[in-house]
Amino acid sequence: MKYQKALKKLNKFNFLPIAFSTCLSTAFAGNAIAGTLPDKILWGNPTCDVSTAEILRKHELRKSALVTNSSNPAAQAQYLAIIQKHKSDLQACRDRTAPQTQATWIRLYPNDAKAGVLEDVFDKVANRGYNQIFVEVFYDGRVLLPVADNPTPWRSVMEESVKAGEVPADYDLFKKAIAIGKERGIKVYGWSFAMNFGYGYSEIKGRSGALALNGNGENSIANTNFDRKLVSDGRAFYEDAYEADHLFVDPYSAIAKADLTSVVKALMQRNPDGMVFDYVRYPTNLTGVLIDNVKQLWIHGQSSRSALLNSIDNKNVRELMALYLQNGDLTADDVVQTEKKLTESIRVKPTNIKDARETAAIAKRLLWNMATNHAYQGVVNFVTTISAPLKQNNIAIGTVFFPNGNRVESGKHEARMQPWDRFPAYMERHPMTYALCNDGKCVADQVSEVVRQSPPETLVCPVLAGTWGQGFDGHPSFEKQMQAIRATQPKINCFSHFVYSWMEPESDRLRKFGKATGLEPATIPN
C-alpha cells in the first residue's frame, strides 16, 4: 500500500529499514510515530548496566583478543574472564531487580561475520543490562540461514556475501549469535515474520495459490505501483520495506504453512531460546476505517474459501454463503431462489418465506459473523501449526502484535484482524504498545488492556518504542514508560525496547554498510 512519502512506513517492522539508515524519515507504527533520531544519544538510567571503567576494560580486551592480537591466548583468556564476570553480575542483578527480563530487538548483517564485530554488538547490549535479544531471522523475503544449509524457498541473508567470497557458504550467523549471547547470559530468540512472506514469494513457481485474496481476487500487492523490476530476483530485501510490498499468504494454505514450517524447523536446529512471530495478521487498511463487507476479508483464496464452505453442514446455509462471498451481499431474492433450488433438488415443496427481506438481513448478519470468525481462526490455526515443532521441543513461542489489531465495533472489524486474544495461552504475548503521550499513561493503558484479555498464566512482555533518558518523537523515555506501566501492572516483569539501532545508531549504520571493523569506540554512560 503506497502512501505519502513521509508517511509510508506503517508499522514497527517498517521502521527497521529506516532506523538502519543514518537519517530516519517519518514513520508510523500503529499510532506511534518515529522520526529522526535525537541529536544526542543518552545512556539514561538502565538497571543492571555496567560501569564506565568496566565497559572500557572489556572493550580493549575484546579488540586485543579478537581483532588486533587474535593469536594471543592470554588476551583471549582475559577477555573470556571479563565476559564471564559480567554474565554472573548481570544474572545476579536481574534476579533481584525489576524487570527480571529486559530485552531489545536487532537486525544482523553480513558484516557481523567479521572478527570482533558481533561480539561488540552483544557486549553493548549486555552493558546496558539487557538479558534477552530478539534477532530477525525471517523478514522481507530472506532467511538467516547458511547458504549451504537452507532447505526453505527463500534466499539466505548471506547469499550476496557468499558470492563475494566474504564468508563461506556454510557460515551460520544465527548460530554464532546464539553462542555469543549464551556466553554473556543473554537469551537469544528468533524473530520471524509470519503471514507476510515477502515480495520474492510471488516469484517462486507454484506458490500463486498460496496467496491471500480479497473478494476481487486480488492479492495484497495487486494494486501497488512500486517498480517490480527494482525488487525482482531477491533485490526487494535491499529496498525499504513498505506495507505496500508485503505479500500476505492465505493462512489456510497447506503450501504456505509447509513453507514457513520449513523455516521454523531449520532455525530451531540452531537451538534458540525461543521464537516470536510477527505479522500474525492480514494486511493493514491505510484508511484506518473498520471493515464491514465480506469482499474486504482476505478469505477468498481457494484454500480459505473451500475450508469455510466445507465447514458448513447445512446445505442451505452453505449455498447462501457461496452467494454472499461471490456478491458481497445477500438479497431477499437470493434467499428465495436458494430455498427454491435446494427444495427442487430433493423434490419437496419450498418453505413459504413470509418476509424474505428480513430473513436475508438476519442471514447476512449470521454469514458475516461466520466469515469473520473464519478469518480469525485462520490466523490462529496458522501460527499454531507453523510453531508446532517449537512446542514439541519445549522452545518458547511468542506472538508480536498491535493491541488494537483485534478491535471490533458495532460488528465492524479492524482490517488487520489480529486475534491475539485467541492465541493459545502457552504463547508469550509481546504487544507493541506504541501509544503517544508525555507521561506514559496511554502506554500503560494499552498494557492493562492486553493483561485484561490474557490468561493469567500467559507471559505479557510489552514492546516499548523509544530510547533511554529522553523523549523520542512523542514517546516518553523507556524509564518513564516502564514506571507508568509498573504503577498499574506491578506484575509485569518483562519489557523489550525497540530497537538496538535507535540506541546504537552508529554501530548499526557501520554494520549495515559493511564498514564495521570491531575497532570502533566503546559506548559509555554520559
Look at residue 348 in the predicted model and tell me its pLDDT.
63
Residue 139: which domain range?
5-295+376-512
> pLDDT (tens digit, 9 = 90+) per residue, 75-85?
999 999 999 99
Look at residue 4 in the predicted model and tell me its pLDDT.
32
Residue 407: phi and psi, rounded to 5, are -65, 135
Look at residue 29 in the predicted model and tell me its pLDDT.
36
d(CA 248, CA 251): 9
d(CA 112, CA 126): 17
d(CA 346, CA 456): 52
**Cα–Cα nearest to 280, from 398, 448, 407, 426:** 398
Residue 107 CB contacts under 8 Å (≥ 6 apart), including other chains: 16, 20, 135, 136, 139, 501, 508
d(CA 121, CA 522): 10
On the question of pLDDT at 7 being above 50, the answer is: no
Look at residue 1 in the predicted model and tell me its pLDDT.
31
What is the arithmetic mean of pLDDT over 508-525?
A: 96
On the question of pLDDT at 240 being above 80, the answer is: no
State whether 341 and 458 are in the same domain: no
What is the arithmetic mean of pLDDT over 144-165?
A: 97
Residue 492 cell numbers, joined = 509485569
Look at residue 269 in the predicted model and tell me its pLDDT.
98
Look at residue 19 in the predicted model and tell me its pLDDT.
32
Across the chain, mean pLDDT equals 90
264, 192 contact by CB (below 8 A)? yes
Last residue of a domain, one of 375, 409, 434: 375
State whether 273 and 392 are in the same domain: yes
State whether 359 and 388 are in the same domain: no
State whether 308 and 268 are in the same domain: no
521, 483 contact by CB (below 8 A)? no
Range from 41-45, 310-314, 433-437 carrying the lowest mean pLDDT: 41-45
Domain at 219, CATH number: 3.20.20.80
State whether 134 and 236 are in the same domain: yes
Residue given cell 535479544 in the structure block: 133
Burial class (CB in 10 A: 0-12, 13-18, 19+), 224: middle
Task: Please report, rounded to a whole number, the percentage of residues in the chain having pLDDT higher than 70.
Answer: 90
Give the CA angle between residues 171, 190, 38 to the nearest 5°: 100
What is the arithmetic mean of pLDDT over 318-347?
A: 90
State whether 382 and 367 are in the same domain: no
Strand, helix or coil for residue 34: strand
CA torsion angle for 58, 49, 172, 163 (degrees, to 10)?
-80
**Is residue 290 in a domain?**
yes
Last residue of a domain, one of 338, 359, 375: 375
**Is residue 115 in a domain?**
yes
pTM as predicted: 0.92
On the question of pLDDT at 64 being above 50, the answer is: yes
List, in sequence order, every residue forming a beta bridge with 412; answer none if it has no partner: 409
Of 35 and 458, the one with more pLDDT: 458
**Is residue 480 in a domain?**
yes
Total of domains in the chain = 2
Look at residue 24 in the predicted model and tell me its pLDDT.
26
**Cα–Cα nearest to 245, from 271, 284, 280, 274:** 284
State whether 46 and 147 are in the same domain: yes
State whether 371 and 381 are in the same domain: no
State whether 331 and 235 are in the same domain: no
> pLDDT (tens digit, 9 = 90+) per residue, 31-50?
333 456 666 789 999 999 99
Range from 25-34, 60-69, 487-496 carrying the lowest mean pLDDT: 25-34
One-letter amino acid at 365 equals: R
Look at residue 228 in the predicted model and tell me its pLDDT.
83
Look at residue 472 in the predicted model and tell me its pLDDT.
85
State whether 150 and 267 are in the same domain: yes
**Cα–Cα nearest to 415, from 1, 12, 14:** 1
